[in-house]
Structure 1
Amino acid sequence: MSDILDFLNHLLNPRWIFVHFGNTALLILLAIVFSETGLFIGFFLPGDSLLFTAGIFGEDLRKNFYNIPFFVIILLVALAAVLGNIQGYWLGYKSGKFLYQKKDSFFFKKKHLILAKLFYNQYNSIALVISRFFPIFRTFAPIVAGILHIDFKKFMIYNVIGALTWTYSIMLSGHYLDKHFPEIKDHIEWIIVAIICITTVPFILTMKIKKKKFIT
């Protein structure tokens, strides 16, 4: 059990993934992005910090994976995000009623589903783009879209736009920051903490506002 916990702890450390897994690091990156956007149990995975760190270690990723261009790596990550949202959509489409009746557990909190629905109701389909930059919301927004039976073609347009915007903006930020400031790798832990704070604080504030509106 302790070995599993140690692995999960390391899994939440993006640098550990890219340093220790070599040519399989990209596959792990794709699996995490898919899981975070396609399975409700993936809400705790390190989305933004993982993509940013992937950008910083972009050259290593490229060299360890058949020297493919970095923009192709980003396209693969975006594709994983698109497929993850499709999985989330069909999960909500087929199991919406069941999810609302499901009891809370470590991997599932009904309040997250309710907050995501309120978020979606406020921003409509554009929520699929905005939610990419908010932890938890990016996991539950496609599920809510499926529960609401949003037109699939319309869903796919915003799904693709959101995936490309999310992956390219964050991964390229890390990639070019590393090119101009190579020493950034020595301070990656602090940068990850900053990213977590930047993405989590707005979510907490939004969650409080939504909760008040929901109660009233």
Structure 2
Amino acid sequence: MNATWLLSTYGTFGILLCIFAETGLPVFGFFLPGDTLLVPAGLLCSSPARSGPHLTLLPVLLCAAVGTITGAQLGFWTGRRAGRATLARLENPRLHAGVRRAELLLVRYGHARAVALGRFIPVVRTVLNPVAGALGVPLRTFTLWQMIGGLAWSQSLILGSCWLGNSVRHPDAYGRCPRTLT
């Protein structure tokens, strides 16, 4: 899935759907471009970016926030309801490796820090939510820390790339080959 195509076709709604699916649907979510979608979205919010769709910053921030929070809650409830039985039936080695990493993160750092820090690790971001539900992480702890981690992850990527896009002069010129080499 190409982030540029997704943003030009679906705009901010595509951000909401993609981030929701990445954080809430563990079987399909790790195929989706979370980080690689939020960075171009932030760049497209910057004022100098003119070669493609232009996005408005506030709706992008809101859609990313809603997608990441609601997706994580869905993943948690999926893990709480279906739990280990579903994971045992799936034979995807990449998914099982992500589950092992998520479990180690929960044990090593404790529930609060693991849930918040797990948002910054690509495959763990997808599988940590249902694993937390399956392992019985308290709902209040999970909700608070997934909101803090999810907002820190999504908003920092968007705002950082928007700032970068506004800081670079003539960003459309980068990536083009010069006509002559001197």
Compute the TM-score of the two structures, normalised by the length of structure 2: 0.83
Q: Percent identity?
A: 29
Out of 24, 43, 46, the position equivalent to 2:30 is 43
Q: What residue identity is the alignment partner of 2:17?
A: A
Out of 96, 108, 125, the position equivalent to 1:110 is 96
Out of 41, 55, 59, the position equivalent to 1:61 is 55
Distance (Å, rounded) in 1 between the aligned partners of 2:80 and 2:173: 45
The alpha carbon displacement at 1:157 in A equals: 0.7
Quickly say closer, same or farther: Cα 1:105–1:178, change in 2 above 3 A: same
1:154 equivalenced with 2:146 (yes/no): no
Distance (Å, rounded) in 1 between the aligned partners of 2:34 and 2:174: 19
The alpha carbon displacement at 1:101 in A equals: 1.8
Mapping 1:1-216, distance limit 5 Å: 11=1, 13-18=2-7, 20-21=8-9, 24-40=10-26, 41-58=28-45, 60-62=54-56, 70-105=57-92, 109-124=95-110, 125-185=112-172, 187=174
Question: Greater helix percent: which structure?
Answer: 1
Distance (Å, rounded) in 2 between the aligned partners of 1:162 and 1:186: 35
Deviations 1:153-183 (A, max 9, x none): 1111101101110111110111011111154
Q: CA RMSD of the aligned region, Å?
A: 1.9
Q: What residue identity is the alignment partner of 1:54?
A: A
Q: What residue identity is the alignment partner of 1:132?
A: R
Compute the TM-score of the two structures, normalised by the length of structure 1: 0.70
Q: What residue identity is the alignment partner of 1:17?
A: L
In the alignment, structure 2 segments of 5+ residues that lack a partner are: 47-53, 176-182
The alpha carbon displacement at 1:31 in A equals: 0.5
Aligned with 1:57: secondary structure?
A: helix
The alpha carbon displacement at 1:185 in A equals: 4.6
Structure showing greater relative contact order (alpha-carbon pairs closer than 8 Å, 6 or more residues apart) = 2
Q: What residue identity is the alignment partner of 1:115?
A: R
Which portions of structure 1, spanning 4 or more consecutive aligned residues, are displaced by more than 6 angstroms? none
Q: What residue identity is the alignment partner of 2:6?
A: I
In the alignment, structure 1 segments of 5+ residues that lack a partner are: 1-10, 63-69, 189-216
Number of aligned residue pairs: give it: 166
Quickly say closer, same or farther: Cα 1:81–1:186, change in 2 above 3 A: farther
Distance (Å, rounded) in 2 between the aligned partners of 1:28 and 1:159: 21
The alpha carbon displacement at 1:105 in A equals: 3.6
Checking the alignment, whether the CA contact within 8 Å between 1:43 and 1:136 is kept in structure 2 is: yes
Deviations 1:15-46 (A, max 9, x none): 2223x32xx31111110100100011211211
Aligned with 2:119: secondary structure?
A: helix
